Structure 1
Amino acid sequence: MEYRELGDSGLRVSAITFGSWAAGGWMWGGTEQNDAVGAIHAAYEHGVTSIDTAPIYGQGLSEQIVGEAIKSLPRDKVQILTKFGMRWDLPEAKGDFAMKTKNNEGQDIDVYKYASPESIIKECEDSLRRLGTDYIDLYQIHWPDVTTPIHDTMEAVNKLVEQGKVRAVGVSNYSVEQMREAENTVKLASNQVPYSMLRRSIEQELVPYCQEHNKGILAYSPMQLGLLTGKFKPGQHFDSSDLRSTNKLFTPDNIEKVNAFLHQLQPLADDKKATLAQLVIAWTIAQPGITVALVGARNPKQATQNAQAGDVQLSAEDISFINDELGKVQIG
């Protein structure tokens, strides 16, 4: 496993990081806690020392699972990456309305993007309690909150850094302009953004900016919600609680096109003694400017396979071949 520093924050993370959104069950059709804890342990045993989570994932459940998992791990060898700014538990509507959704019990909840100073302080304390730790390695705003000035948000996070509760500060889903504004108040280590073979728009502006200013990029959904594993067939059924049930990438036509592309990659994967998923992960962390690939797992077997993608070596010719085949894919 390769370990990389997020910008010049001094925080080193595993190039493949455990993404625990699915572990929280929310929007993924439920979860099994024991399997999730076992998955984190299996990932750690194979070199994955960094775990990304958020309060909104399972409305606290994902953080609780991570907290349970790290109890038996050396805290100074594990990097906990969590977030703030997505509230489902406000006594009254505040901030920028994000969505109506259901929690894991099927109850309706309203989610708001809200990152006022007082909300951040409360969220940090709640996260520390659920995680069972006294500091967070990387604290990231989950989504921009247009109702709170960025300066006010980042000033509050700075105080948490001064108190020793946060080691490094990151953002998520921020534009270059928003990153610039945040940097007037706080030193940013990274930006967490969606990136995959099928979703590469950040290469136009965000990647060059982060490279120029020495900021890490944490790529989430590098497997494009599992589509790039090749395990889905046209007509695949997803429960209504699964976010893929309404995702346009999962139309029968698109699934067929992606599977045809993956079929072209299969000989290369076989040559590397790798699965298609491992080849996709290896490609992701080999891309210019990409520091980390966040990859989820529901059980120890998946977590082990994901971690082993860190052992897959791709030459310049391999990457060129993959990119050439990728250029032929026309997603509708």
Structure 2
Amino acid sequence: MEYRKIGNSDLKLSAITFGAWAAGGWMWGGTERKDAIHAIQASYNEGVTSIDTAPIYGQGDSEEIVAEAIQAISRDKVEIITKYGMRWDLAKGDFAMKSKNNMGQDIDIYKYAGKESIIKECEDSLRRLKTDYIDLYQIHWPDSTTPIQESMEAVAQLIKEGKVRYAGVCNYNAAQLQEADKYVNIISDQVPYSMVKRDIEKELIPYTIESGKSIIAYSPLERGLLTGKMQPGHKFEEGDHRANLYFYKDENLKRTAEFLDKLRPLASDKNATLSQLVLRWTIEQPGITIALAGARNAEQSVQNAKAINVKLSKEEIDFITTELNKLELIK
């Protein structure tokens, strides 16, 4: 495994970090708790020491699964990344969405990052994670109802108290990131980035490179689209959010499959899967420090971790990017 320094901190994360959204089941059509625990443990055995989770993932389930998975591992051997600012138990802030919890009950979710809420969320996360500190604490989404200053000063207080080591943000644009950095040292921005979602290359990546911040890329496999396993006519489990996304329209599945077919010979030469090739390409892109890779079972998590063993030359990266630039998806 490769370990990369985050921003200007001394925090190092595994270049492939375990993303525990799907492990929480919520919006993924459920999950098997035992399989999720084994996935995290198998990932750790391959050198993946960093785990990204959030309270909203399964409304606490994901954090509890992470705690159970790492209970036999010394705390200083893993890096726990979690978030704040999405409440399903408080109607305050920006309304985000209507959803259902893992028991099928209706819930309303709000983006809220007021000071008192952040303090409460941190305590709840520490309890669920069975730890006394969080390595990287990130606002999950911007909250237009709370000044960025208030949110960031709350995290600065948690750092001072030793409950949090470092502050990060998620889904912030360059201007928001710059504003947040005035009140606490922000070392990273976690944003969506994949072969088929590269809009951050225009403004955010140049800013993070210039300012010494790290990008943690989430959904680098575009939630399964880039694995090469999805073909037109794919049927999702009930409750799986992907069914309504334009990426998974039959025409886009067809076009993506045709693009991935062009990469198969290269993957075969590398003795790698398409997923591994895609993950390696992702962490080779300028400004991308970490790729989050989710898994619902041990086989998937081991495969993701082994992406680090794929070595790509500049010519091979350029070949992939050239073919990728020909791919157009229909929105």
TM-score tier (shorter)? over 0.9
Number of equivalences? 330
Residue 48 of structure 2 is aligned to residue 53 of structure 1: no
- Give, in whole Å, the separation in 2 of the partners of 1:151 and 1:256: 46
Q: Secondary structure at the match of 1:310?
A: helix
Unaligned 5+ residue runs, structure 2? none
Q: Secondary structure at the match of 1:321?
A: helix
Q: Secondary structure at the match of 2:326?
A: coil
Q: Match for residue 236 of structure 2? A: 238
Q: Match for residue 14 of structure 1? A: 14
- Give, in whole Å, the separation in 2 of the partners of 1:127 and 1:173: 20
Counterpart amino acid of residue 63 in structure 2? E
Q: Match for residue 205 of structure 1? A: 203
Normalising by structure 2, what TM-score?
0.99
Counterpart amino acid of residue 49 in structure 1? T
Measured after TM superposition, the shift of residue 263 of structure 1 is 0.4
Q: Match for residue 179 of structure 2? A: 181
Q: After TM superposition, where is structure 1 displaced by more than 6 Å over at least 4 residues in a row?
A: none
Counterpart amino acid of residue 289 in structure 1? G
Q: Match for residue 5 of structure 1? A: 5
Q: Match for residue 28 of structure 2? A: 28
Residue 314 of structure 2 is aligned to residue 304 of structure 1: no
Measured after TM superposition, the shift of residue 120 of structure 1 is 0.3
Residue 89 of structure 2 is aligned to residue 89 of structure 1: yes
| Aligned residue runs from structure 1 range 1-332, under 5 A | 1-90=1-90, 93-332=91-330
Q: Secondary structure at the match of 2:195?
A: coil
What do residues 22-58 of structure 1 show as CA deviations (whole Å, max 9, x unaligned)? 0000000001111111111110010100000000000
Identity %: 63
Unaligned 5+ residue runs, structure 1? none
- Give, in whole Å, the separation in 2 of the partners of 1:89 and 1:130: 16
Normalising by structure 1, what TM-score?
0.99
- Give, in whole Å, the separation in 2 of the partners of 1:71 and 1:271: 39
Q: Secondary structure at the match of 2:55?
A: coil
What do residues 60-90 of structure 1 show as CA deviations (whole Å, max 9, x unaligned)? 0000000111101111010000000000011
Counterpart amino acid of residue 314 in structure 2? A
- Give, in whole Å, the separation in 1 of the partners of 2:322 and 2:278: 14
- Give, in whole Å, the separation in 2 of the partners of 1:241 and 1:7: 37
